[in-house]
Protein backbone atom coordinates (compact mmCIF):
# COMPACT_ATOMS: atom_id res chain seq x y z
CA UNK A 1 0.00 0.00 0.00
CA UNK A 2 1.30 3.44 -0.89
CA UNK A 3 2.11 5.93 1.82
CA UNK A 4 -0.05 9.09 1.55
CA UNK A 5 2.29 11.03 3.86
CA UNK A 6 5.40 10.18 1.86
CA UNK A 7 8.09 12.85 1.86
CA UNK A 8 10.53 12.68 -1.04
CA UNK A 9 14.21 13.41 -0.49
CA UNK A 10 16.22 15.33 -3.08
CA UNK A 11 18.48 12.90 -5.00
CA UNK A 12 22.20 13.37 -4.33
CA UNK A 13 25.14 11.77 -6.16
CA UNK A 14 26.39 8.47 -4.70
CA UNK A 15 30.06 8.85 -5.52
CA UNK A 16 31.07 5.37 -4.42
CA UNK A 17 28.51 3.84 -6.81
CA UNK A 18 29.65 6.14 -9.62
CA UNK A 19 33.26 5.10 -9.00
CA UNK A 20 32.38 1.38 -8.92
CA UNK A 21 30.33 1.69 -12.13
CA UNK A 22 33.14 3.42 -14.01
CA UNK A 23 35.71 0.89 -12.80
CA UNK A 24 33.49 -2.03 -13.81
CA UNK A 25 32.99 -0.71 -17.33
CA UNK A 26 36.72 -0.11 -17.74
CA UNK A 27 37.56 -3.54 -16.35
CA UNK A 28 35.19 -5.18 -18.83
CA UNK A 29 37.32 -3.75 -21.64
CA UNK A 30 40.08 -6.16 -20.58
CA UNK A 31 38.12 -8.78 -22.53
CA UNK A 32 39.43 -7.22 -25.75
CA UNK A 33 43.00 -8.21 -24.90
CA UNK A 34 43.71 -11.49 -26.77
CA UNK A 35 45.48 -13.01 -23.76
CA UNK A 36 42.30 -12.71 -21.70
CA UNK A 37 40.14 -14.71 -24.09
CA UNK A 38 39.27 -18.39 -24.09
CA UNK A 39 36.10 -20.21 -25.02
CA UNK A 40 36.11 -21.83 -21.60
CA UNK A 41 36.03 -18.36 -20.03
CA UNK A 42 33.09 -17.35 -22.24
CA UNK A 43 31.32 -20.52 -21.13
CA UNK A 44 31.94 -19.65 -17.49
CA UNK A 45 30.53 -16.15 -18.06
CA UNK A 46 27.38 -17.52 -19.72
CA UNK A 47 26.87 -20.12 -16.99
CA UNK A 48 27.30 -17.52 -14.25
CA UNK A 49 24.96 -15.14 -16.12
CA UNK A 50 22.25 -17.79 -15.95
CA UNK A 51 23.09 -18.63 -12.32
CA UNK A 52 23.10 -15.02 -11.10
CA UNK A 53 20.55 -13.34 -13.39
CA UNK A 54 18.28 -16.25 -14.31
CA UNK A 55 18.17 -18.09 -10.99
CA UNK A 56 19.38 -15.26 -8.76
CA UNK A 57 17.66 -12.08 -9.96
CA UNK A 58 14.66 -13.25 -11.99
CA UNK A 59 13.72 -16.30 -9.92
CA UNK A 60 15.16 -15.37 -6.51
CA UNK A 61 15.23 -11.61 -5.94
CA UNK A 62 12.24 -10.80 -8.16
CA UNK A 63 9.55 -13.47 -8.36
CA UNK A 64 10.31 -15.11 -5.01
CA UNK A 65 11.60 -12.44 -2.61
CA UNK A 66 9.93 -9.32 -4.04
CA UNK A 67 6.52 -10.73 -5.03
CA UNK A 68 6.27 -14.04 -3.17
CA UNK A 69 4.78 -15.57 -6.32
CA UNK A 70 5.60 -19.08 -5.12
CA UNK A 71 7.17 -20.92 -2.20
CA UNK A 72 10.22 -23.19 -2.04
CA UNK A 73 12.01 -24.93 0.83
CA UNK A 74 14.14 -22.55 2.89
CA UNK A 75 17.43 -24.10 1.74
CA UNK A 76 16.48 -23.49 -1.90
CA UNK A 77 15.27 -19.96 -1.17
CA UNK A 78 18.61 -19.15 0.46
CA UNK A 79 20.49 -20.66 -2.48
CA UNK A 80 18.55 -18.45 -4.91
CA UNK A 81 19.16 -15.38 -2.76
CA UNK A 82 22.89 -16.20 -2.71
CA UNK A 83 22.86 -16.48 -6.51
CA UNK A 84 21.18 -13.08 -6.76
CA UNK A 85 23.70 -11.61 -4.35
CA UNK A 86 26.51 -12.75 -6.65
CA UNK A 87 24.99 -10.67 -9.46
CA UNK A 88 26.61 -7.63 -7.84
CA UNK A 89 23.41 -5.57 -8.05
CA UNK A 90 23.52 -4.36 -4.47
CA UNK A 91 22.20 -5.77 -1.23
CA UNK A 92 19.05 -7.88 -1.38
CA UNK A 93 17.09 -5.70 1.05
CA UNK A 94 17.66 -2.64 -1.13
CA UNK A 95 16.90 -4.53 -4.35
CA UNK A 96 13.62 -5.89 -3.00
CA UNK A 97 12.63 -2.64 -1.30
CA UNK A 98 13.25 -0.47 -4.35
CA UNK A 99 11.42 -2.90 -6.60
CA UNK A 100 8.39 -2.90 -4.33
CA UNK A 101 8.53 0.91 -4.31
CA UNK A 102 8.62 0.83 -8.13
CA UNK A 103 5.32 -1.06 -8.17
CA UNK A 104 3.74 1.19 -5.55
CA UNK A 105 4.63 4.39 -7.38
CA UNK A 106 5.20 3.27 -10.99
CA UNK A 107 6.23 6.17 -13.24
CA UNK A 108 5.47 8.71 -10.54
CA UNK A 109 7.87 10.97 -8.63
CA UNK A 110 8.35 8.40 -5.87
CA UNK A 111 9.30 5.62 -8.32
CA UNK A 112 13.06 4.98 -7.81
CA UNK A 113 13.57 4.69 -11.58
CA UNK A 114 10.71 6.85 -12.83
CA UNK A 115 10.71 6.51 -16.62
CA UNK A 116 9.28 10.00 -17.04
CA UNK A 117 12.72 11.30 -16.08
CA UNK A 118 14.19 9.87 -19.28
CA UNK A 119 15.81 6.70 -20.59
CA UNK A 120 19.23 7.44 -19.07
CA UNK A 121 17.76 8.07 -15.62
CA UNK A 122 15.61 4.93 -15.56
CA UNK A 123 18.42 2.79 -16.94
CA UNK A 124 21.41 3.72 -14.83
CA UNK A 125 21.48 7.26 -13.47
CA UNK A 126 19.00 6.55 -10.68
CA UNK A 127 21.48 4.05 -9.22
CA UNK A 128 24.09 6.78 -9.01
CA UNK A 129 21.89 8.97 -6.84
CA UNK A 130 20.23 8.60 -3.47
CA UNK A 131 16.70 7.29 -3.97
CA UNK A 132 13.88 9.66 -2.99
CA UNK A 133 11.97 6.82 -1.32
CA UNK A 134 14.90 5.34 0.64
CA UNK A 135 13.04 6.04 3.87
CA UNK A 136 10.36 3.59 2.74
CA UNK A 137 12.72 0.58 2.73
CA UNK A 138 12.16 -0.54 6.34
CA UNK A 139 8.39 -0.55 5.81
CA UNK A 140 8.64 -2.33 2.46
CA UNK A 141 11.02 -5.10 3.60
CA UNK A 142 9.60 -5.99 7.02
CA UNK A 143 9.02 -9.59 5.96
CA UNK A 144 12.70 -10.28 5.21
CA UNK A 145 14.65 -7.64 7.14
CA UNK A 146 15.15 -9.80 10.24
CA UNK A 147 16.16 -12.96 8.39
CA UNK A 148 19.81 -13.57 9.27
CA UNK A 149 20.72 -15.09 5.91
CA UNK A 150 19.19 -12.15 4.06
CA UNK A 151 21.09 -9.82 6.37
CA UNK A 152 24.33 -11.69 5.71
CA UNK A 153 23.89 -11.52 1.92
CA UNK A 154 22.87 -7.87 2.09
CA UNK A 155 25.90 -6.85 4.12
CA UNK A 156 28.49 -9.07 2.47
CA UNK A 157 27.62 -8.91 -1.24
CA UNK A 158 30.93 -7.22 -2.10
CA UNK A 159 33.18 -9.64 -0.14
CA UNK A 160 31.23 -12.57 -1.62
CA UNK A 161 31.99 -11.25 -5.10
CA UNK A 162 35.64 -11.08 -4.09
CA UNK A 163 35.60 -14.71 -2.97
CA UNK A 164 34.10 -15.74 -6.32
CA UNK A 165 36.74 -13.70 -8.16
CA UNK A 166 39.58 -15.44 -6.29
CA UNK A 167 38.10 -18.87 -6.99
CA UNK A 168 37.75 -18.12 -10.70
CA UNK A 169 41.31 -16.78 -10.91
CA UNK A 170 42.71 -19.87 -9.19
CA UNK A 171 40.81 -22.13 -11.60
CA UNK A 172 41.35 -20.35 -14.90
CA UNK A 173 43.62 -17.35 -14.43
CA UNK A 174 42.93 -13.94 -15.96
CA UNK A 175 40.50 -15.17 -18.66
CA UNK A 176 38.18 -16.65 -16.04
CA UNK A 177 38.51 -13.55 -13.86
CA UNK A 178 37.86 -11.09 -16.69
CA UNK A 179 34.96 -12.97 -18.27
CA UNK A 180 33.55 -14.62 -15.16
CA UNK A 181 33.51 -11.42 -13.11
CA UNK A 182 33.96 -8.18 -15.08
CA UNK A 183 32.22 -9.07 -18.35
CA UNK A 184 29.53 -11.08 -16.60
CA UNK A 185 28.77 -8.27 -14.11
CA UNK A 186 28.69 -5.74 -16.95
CA UNK A 187 26.25 -7.81 -19.00
CA UNK A 188 24.06 -8.76 -16.05
CA UNK A 189 23.91 -5.20 -14.82
CA UNK A 190 22.70 -3.79 -18.13
CA UNK A 191 20.36 -6.70 -18.85
CA UNK A 192 18.51 -6.01 -15.61
CA UNK A 193 18.57 -2.24 -16.20
CA UNK A 194 16.96 -2.74 -19.62
CA UNK A 195 13.80 -3.87 -17.81
CA UNK A 196 13.63 -0.54 -15.97
CA UNK A 197 14.39 1.60 -19.02
CA UNK A 198 13.60 -0.09 -22.34
CA UNK A 199 10.51 -1.84 -20.96
CA UNK A 200 8.97 1.50 -20.06
CA UNK A 201 9.57 3.04 -23.48
CA UNK A 202 9.83 0.52 -26.34
CA UNK A 203 7.78 -2.54 -27.20
CA UNK A 204 4.08 -3.35 -27.18
CA UNK A 205 1.36 -3.21 -24.54
CA UNK A 206 -1.09 -6.07 -24.05
CA UNK A 207 -2.79 -4.52 -21.00
CA UNK A 208 -3.82 -1.06 -19.88
CA UNK A 209 -1.97 -0.76 -16.59
CA UNK A 210 -2.04 2.97 -15.95
CA UNK A 211 1.72 3.26 -16.41
CA UNK A 212 4.25 3.12 -19.26
CA UNK A 213 5.27 -0.55 -18.93
CA UNK A 214 5.81 -2.47 -22.19
CA UNK A 215 6.67 -5.95 -23.41
CA UNK A 216 10.00 -6.26 -25.24
CA UNK A 217 11.04 -9.58 -26.75
CA UNK A 218 14.81 -9.03 -26.86
CA UNK A 219 14.94 -7.87 -23.24
CA UNK A 220 13.07 -11.05 -22.34
CA UNK A 221 15.69 -13.15 -24.10
CA UNK A 222 18.45 -11.44 -22.10
CA UNK A 223 16.64 -11.68 -18.77
CA UNK A 224 14.96 -15.09 -18.87
CA UNK A 225 11.46 -13.66 -19.29
CA UNK A 226 11.61 -10.39 -17.36
CA UNK A 227 11.06 -8.34 -20.52
CA UNK A 228 7.34 -9.20 -20.60
CA UNK A 229 7.07 -6.25 -18.26
CA UNK A 230 3.62 -4.98 -19.20
CA UNK A 231 2.25 -8.45 -18.52
CA UNK A 232 3.99 -8.38 -15.15
CA UNK A 233 2.53 -4.99 -14.23
CA UNK A 234 -0.92 -6.25 -15.18
CA UNK A 235 -0.64 -9.18 -12.74
CA UNK A 236 2.19 -8.38 -10.36
CA UNK A 237 1.78 -11.39 -8.08
CA UNK A 238 1.75 -13.90 -10.93
CA UNK A 239 4.76 -16.20 -11.28
CA UNK A 240 4.19 -16.27 -15.05
CA UNK A 241 5.06 -13.30 -17.28
CA UNK A 242 4.82 -14.72 -20.80
CA UNK A 243 1.18 -15.38 -21.75
CA UNK A 244 1.30 -15.87 -25.53
CA UNK A 245 3.05 -18.80 -27.18
CA UNK A 246 5.78 -16.50 -28.53
CA UNK A 247 6.37 -14.85 -25.13
CA UNK A 248 9.10 -17.22 -24.00
CA UNK A 249 9.51 -17.06 -20.23
CA UNK A 250 12.43 -19.24 -19.17
CA UNK A 251 11.99 -18.42 -15.49
CA UNK A 252 8.37 -19.56 -15.63
CA UNK A 253 9.50 -22.83 -17.20
CA UNK A 254 12.00 -23.17 -14.34
CA UNK A 255 9.20 -22.66 -11.81
CA UNK A 256 7.09 -25.30 -13.57
CA UNK A 257 10.03 -27.71 -13.39
CA UNK A 258 10.47 -27.03 -9.67
CA UNK A 259 6.74 -27.52 -9.24
CA UNK A 260 6.85 -30.84 -11.09
CA UNK A 261 9.51 -32.22 -8.73
CA UNK A 262 7.73 -30.91 -5.64
CA UNK A 263 10.10 -28.03 -4.81
CA UNK A 264 7.80 -25.13 -5.78
CA UNK A 265 4.38 -24.80 -4.16
CA UNK A 266 1.67 -22.13 -3.84
CA UNK A 267 2.47 -20.94 -7.37
CA UNK A 268 0.35 -17.91 -8.17
CA UNK A 269 -1.23 -17.60 -11.59
CA UNK A 270 -2.15 -14.58 -13.68
CA UNK A 271 -5.27 -12.63 -12.80
CA UNK A 272 -5.47 -9.93 -15.44
CA UNK A 273 -8.47 -7.61 -15.44
pLDDT average, residue stretch 39-60: 98
Each residue of 83-112: pLDDT tens digit?
999 999 999 999 999 999 999 999 999 999
The torsion region of residue 143 among left (phi > 0), alpha (psi -120 to 50) and beta comes to alpha
Q: What angle, 0 to 180 degrees and rounded to 10, lies between the N-to-C axes of helices 148-155 and 74-85?
A: 10
Which residues are registered as beta bridge partners of 215?
204, 228
Binned at pLDDT 50, 70 and 90, residue 134 comes out as confident
pLDDT average, residue stretch 259-269: 97
Q: What is the mean pLDDT of the chain?
A: 94
Question: Which of 111, 91, 102, 234 is CA-nearest to residue 151?
Answer: 91
pLDDT average, residue stretch 158-184: 98
DSSP assigned state of 200:
G
Binned at pLDDT 50, 70 and 90, residue 80 comes out as very high
Residue 271 pLDDT: 62
Q: What angle do CA 100, 260, 57 make, to 5 degrees?
A: 30
DSSP assigned state of 180:
I
CA distances from 174 to 7, 32, 182, 259 (A): 47, 12, 11, 39
Residue 273 pLDDT: 46
Q: What proportion of the chain, given as a percentage, has pLDDT over 90? A: 90
Each residue of 10-46: pLDDT tens digit?
788 999 999 999 999 999 999 999 999 999 999 999 9
Amino acid sequence: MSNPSLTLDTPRPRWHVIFFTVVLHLAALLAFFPGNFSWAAVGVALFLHWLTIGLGISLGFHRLASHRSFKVPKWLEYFLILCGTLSGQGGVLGWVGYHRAHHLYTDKAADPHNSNEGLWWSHISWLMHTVPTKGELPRLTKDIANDRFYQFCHNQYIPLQGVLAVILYLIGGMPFLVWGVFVRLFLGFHCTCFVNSVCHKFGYRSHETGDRSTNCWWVSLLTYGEGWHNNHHAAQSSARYGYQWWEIDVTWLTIRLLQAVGLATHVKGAKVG
